Structure 1
């Protein structure tokens, strides 16, 4: 609209300027030409008439354009008024919204202040947390150092324990080896003893009494010496003392047989162990026949125990080259 108004004003100005210019030119030409002007006056007037006609047409067009422009201006004013009303309404709505916005802004400011306080509190808590984290880091570093030290000590302790265990195992093995050696030595000793015992356990003897006939005991018992060795394996029987001495601990069997000639005095015999009386046999000749006494004992003897036979006081025995009276013994088994 403003552009249209500016265009009309420009056209009016151009028309006026053109008319004035034409008139000025006509007058100037008239005066300058003098006589010639009169001759050309008619032609000039015709041209001016044509231009005036054009100007009138232009003015008519301008009036029509002005009318249209005025109508448009009226419409534009109405539109502008409507637009102004709308703008006022919008402005009122904006003011209302602005007031609400200001209220919201105040609330936001209050919220912002509260948030700032909360943020400050959070920053304080964060600072405290960071301080706590730093303390925890320091404590964690100390704990890690302590843990490393403990691991080192544990490794050293495990090594020491392993060494101690190895020492103990070695000591136990040495003790076991010593025990084995001791047992081996004892076994060897026992084997040696068994060998000696085995050698000594080869014990058996038989001996005849005498070739001289009668042996008579007086008022005391007479120790019998069976001097005629028949067998004496192990040499445990002495043909000079008449004693059997046990070479090994064991169970032995002893047996004797003695003779008395007919029409003799009483016949008797006793067996002793280490001087202690064990048994005795007696016979009284009444029929004029040879009399025999025979018996035996199984005895458990310790090493060094002695066995011997005696004639009781007042009794007698008889023997000759025929070995009527004999004393025998042997080891049944060692203990």
Structure 2
């Protein structure tokens, strides 16, 4: 601050000296140069005035600055006084600390020894810690492997659980099917038992029927008329079918032409007769009799000269001893040969 004020005073002194020098030299130049010199003098005075104005402004500004700096200097002095007081306190405290330090140095020495022991023990513990860290790393590696294995086992367990659930579902469905099958089997067994009972009854009935059939008479016959033409003449002719083809029970007589019922029952009779019809023989007739009474009368007409056939049948209920025979009306004829064009057949349907 004092240097700034000294610099300001120096500048003012220089400006005053320069002004005086300029005022002394102007008349000399004016005398030598005349009017030109006078103009130059006026210009120089103007420049000096401008510079003086600037210097005054600077002085004002510096004065203001000096005031500010003085105020700051006072503040600094106040802070310095406070700092010096604080330094005094700190010196006092430092002395106290030195005293306490002298007291605590033996304790520090003891603590250093204890610290060395602690360091040795710490090194030992650090070695143990390093070993533990190594072992811990190995354990972590094993743990990671174990965790991975556990995850895999969990995934396998989840898959197994899903598979087990599916198997349980299938088992439940199978058990349901088995229960249904058992019920169905029980029903089938019951039905089978009923069928077996019915079968046994049927077998018994069949046996009885077989026995009845074996015990019942067996009657059946078929016979051919013979060879050539058979003519009735002027009277009806009882036809004798003499060529026996079948005669079970011997109920048909190939000598009389009569069938005699051996038992009471229902019988079926059938006949077929043939002739060669032409202009000389235009009609063919046949009758069936039961116990001498006519049951059927049939006729046929033709002129082509080839075989003409007449065929029919009846189911009859006969008493034992009843007779059935075929009759050719008077004035007509029939024809047969080894091919059996004309036949008479019958058999017992069932006895009564």
Q: Provide TM-score, normalisation by structure 1.
A: 0.40
